[in-house]
């Protein structure tokens, strides 16, 4: 009797995206089995290690999907060393594509519906503008908003201003299966798709 597939992710944004993508690919609801680490370093917590071991003891499969951030190989080595040290079994995928540096937002940027790409053109102009302007009396340059803000603003631009629609902008309420906003058939998802196929097919 096969066990569950548990997917360990960094936070609620990842939780919703991964749940929606798996639902899209295989028509299954895995949301109960997506476990938030509370940041990738949460993987070191003894309670989290127990979750891996318990799932393995129940013949389950563990997947870790976290951000590569600025150094893919360093992150891979760090996670592998935690896996080995704690004698747990898990397969690792580093966002955006298990090869490049980046994070969930890097991937999300690449999978927007192409019809909406002008929104990002505006955002890039906004970023450029912020980098160029000098505010009198200010020493430090202005901070360029994080990529999370870019994704947030992208969705905000596409929904209307009703409270119900505004709620859909937040991480846990997003609908990545909404084809007006996202393209889950994007080539940028092919590596993640292949990773999932190896366990869900």
Partner 1 sequence: MSLLKDIRIKNFRGFESLELQDLKQVNLIVGQNNTGKSTVLEAMFLLVGMSNPNLIPTINGFRGIGRIGETEFKYLFHKLDFEKSPTINANLMDTSYRQLEIIPIYKKVSDSSQSFGNLNGEHSGISTSSAFQSVTGLDLKFSSKKKHSIRKSGISSIKIQKGEVQFNPSKDYKEGLHGALISSQGKEEGALPRVSELIKKKREHILVDALRKIDPGIQSIHALPEGIFLTVEGIDELIPSNISGDGLRRFLNIIATITEKQNSIILIDEIENGLHFLSLQKLWETIISMAVEFNNQIVATSHNIETIKYFANAVQSYKEGVLMNNAKLINIAHTKAKGIQHYDYSIESINNSLVNEIEIR
Our finding on whether 85 is near partner 1 (CB under 8 A) is no
Our finding on whether 53 is near partner 1 (CB under 8 A) is yes
Query: Three-state DSSP class for 153?
Result: helix
* Cα dihedral: 101, 128, 110, 153 (round 10): 110
Our finding on whether 42 is near partner 1 (CB under 8 A) is yes
User: How many residues touch partner 1 (CB under 8 A)?
Assistant: 19
Our finding on whether 59 is near partner 1 (CB under 8 A) is yes
Interface stretch with partner 1, choices 30-38, 71-79, 120-128, 182-190 (CB under 8 A): 30-38
Least Å distance, CB 171 to partner 1, is 15
Query: Three-state DSSP class for 7?
Result: strand
Q: Which tokens belong to 191?
A: 């590596």
Interface stretch with partner 1, choices 51-59, 83-91, 146-154, 179-187 (CB under 8 A): 51-59
Contacts of residue 168, Cβ cutoff 8 Å, sequence gap at least 6:
155, 159, 174, 175
Our finding on whether 31 is near partner 1 (CB under 8 A) is no
Q: Which of 5, 7, 18, 48 binds partner 1 (CB under 8 A)?
A: 48
In whole angstroms, give the CA distance from residue 88 to residue 52: 6
Q: Which is nearer to partner 1, 45 or 87 (CB)?
A: 45
Q: Which tokens belong to 84?
A: 């080995």
Q: Which of 27, 46, 84, 162 binds partner 1 (CB under 8 A)?
A: 46
In whole angstroms, give the CA distance from residue 113 to residue 90: 32
In whole angstroms, give the CA distance from residue 40 to residue 65: 9
Our finding on whether 86 is near partner 1 (CB under 8 A) is no
In whole angstroms, give the CA distance from residue 170 to residue 165: 10
Q: Which of 26, 28, 29, 58 binds partner 1 (CB under 8 A)?
A: 58
In whole angstroms, give the CA distance from residue 6 to residue 51: 9
Our finding on whether 137 is near partner 1 (CB under 8 A) is no
Q: Which of 5, 37, 68, 88 binds partner 1 (CB under 8 A)?
A: 37
Q: Which is nearer to partner 1, 38 or 141 (CB)?
A: 38
């Amino acid at each position: 009797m096969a066990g569950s597939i548990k997917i360990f992710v960094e936070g609620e944004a990842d939780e919703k995206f991964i749940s929606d993508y798996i639902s899209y690919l295989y028509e299954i609801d895995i949301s109960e089995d997506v476990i938030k680490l509370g940041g990738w370093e949460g993987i070191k917590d003894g309670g989290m290690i127990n979750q891996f071991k318990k799932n393995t003891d129940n013949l389950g499969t563990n997947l870790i999907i976290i951000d590569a951030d600025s150094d893919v190989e360093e992150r891979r080595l760090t996670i592998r060393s935690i896996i080995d040290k704690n004698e747990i079994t898990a397969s690792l995928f580093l966002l955006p594509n298990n090869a490049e540096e980046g994070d969930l937002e890097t991937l999300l940027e690449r999978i927007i519906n192409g019809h909406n790409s002008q929104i990002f053109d505006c955002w890039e102009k906004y970023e450029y503008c912020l980098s160029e302007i000098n505010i009198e009396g200010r020493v430090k340059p202005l901070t360029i908003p994080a990529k999370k803000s870019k994704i947030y603003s992208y969705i905000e631009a596409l929904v209307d201003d009703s409270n119900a629609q505004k709620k859909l902008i937040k991480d846990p309420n997003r609908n990545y299966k909404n084809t007006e906003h996202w393209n889950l058939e994007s080539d940028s998802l092919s590596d993640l798709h292949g990773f999932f196929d190896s366990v869900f097919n």
